[in-house]
Amino acid sequence: METGLKSQPILVTGATGGIGAATVRLLVNEGADVIAAGRNQERLSEIRAETGCRTLTFDLTSEDDVKSALNDITLYGVVNCGGWGGEIATPMETDMSVFDKVIDVNARGTLLVTKYASDAMIAGGKGGAIVNVSSQASLVGLAGHISYASSKGAVDAMTRVSALELGKHNIRVNAVNPTVVMTPMSEWYWGRDDIGGPLLEAMPLHRWATEEDCAAPIVFLLSDAAAMISGVCLPIDGGFTAV
């Protein structure tokens, strides 16, 4: 299958994390010119040494940071993977400062990167693709996920509206909605038998997703193989949201 990604400049935020780093590795294997972004310099250096990718440092919560990092950049693709899990809380007990921060990183951060990256992609005149990393938490009600689910629901809505607005520039915008991947973001909670057990039991495939399970559909949606797909939110959930 021809991906059309060879030598294409592709920005991956959250590249210092589990799913982001797996996506960087797969894109580099496909010959893409990957720009790995995050805040942690040590992890960025490690992924650069491992894969030969370029790196960029910015904070998703700062418009000045995002704007200056993406100023004058040439881009064909973007993976909005940076994110934060926040807290496990009900609507009655939630800490509004945590809600604000989750929205800031996950929703506002995705929009900020989309805003400045799509400017660059439109200016390049070659079309392209954006993939937002959402969550199954936006598709079904999960206990304790009031803030996180709200932020990812916003990401899904941004995906659809951005697909509508950017289509005329031949830029496709899609989301993936993974189930639990045992990265540090999720392990402390979903790793508990009393919490993770019932979810695994209900899921047709009865296993957690791996980072690679997420990276492959992300790369597919970036690629020419998905040339007619835009505005979808694709569950990577072992069938959990289908039953």
Ligand X SMILES: NC(=O)c1ccc[n+]([C@@H]2O[C@H](COP(=O)([O-])OP(=O)(O)OC[C@H]3O[C@@H](n4cnc5c(N)ncnc54)[C@H](OP(=O)(O)O)[C@@H]3O)[C@@H](O)[C@H]2O)c1
Does residue 76 carry a catalytic annotation? no
How far is it, in rounded angstroms, from Cα 130 to Cα 132? 7
Subset of 62-101 contacting ligand X (CB under 6 A): 81-84
Distance in angstroms (rounded) separating the CA atoms of residues 174 and 217: 11
> Per CB under 6 A, does 3 bind ligand X?
no
Tally of CA atoms within 13 A in the half-sphere of 130 that contains its CB: 35
In the complex, minimum distance from the CB of residue 58 to ligand X, in angstroms, rounded to a whole number = 7
Q: Which is nearer to ligand X, 3 or 210 (CB)?
A: 210
Q: Are strands 54-57 and 77-80 parallel, antiparallel or unpaired?
A: unpaired
CA 90, CA 229: separation in Å to the nearest integer?
A: 35
Among 18, 217, 235, 238, contact with ligand X (rule: CB under 6 A) = 18
Asked whether position 238 contacts ligand X by CB under 6 A, the answer is no
Report the distance separating Cα 164 and Cα 90, nearest Å: 34
Options 101, 152, 168, 189, the catalytic residue? 152
Contact segment (CB under 6 A) with ligand X among 26-34, 179-187, 198-206, 217-225 equals 179-187
- Residues in a beta bridge with 129: 77, 172
- 88 vs 122, beta carbon nearer ligand X: 88
List b or e across 94-120, with b for residues whose CB sees 16 or more CB atoms inside 10 angstroms. beeebbebbbbbbbbbbbbbbebbbeb
Catalytic status, residue 148: yes
d(CA 80, CA 144): 24
- Which of 5, 10, 11, 14 is close enough to bind ligand X by CB under 6 A? 14
Instruction: Select the residue interacting with ligand X from 94, 135, 162, 174 (CB under 6 A).
Output: 135
Size of the site for ligand X (CB under 6 A): 28
Shortest distance, position 191 Cβ to ligand X, whole Å: 11
Residue 133 Cβ vs ligand X, minimum distance, rounded to whole Å: 4
Distance, in Å, from the CA atom of 161 to the CA atom of 191, rounded to the nearest integer, reads 35
Q: Which residues are catalytic?
A: 148, 152
Contacting residues toward ligand X, per CB under 6 A? 14-20, 38-40, 43, 59-61, 81-84, 105, 133, 135, 178, 180-181, 183-186
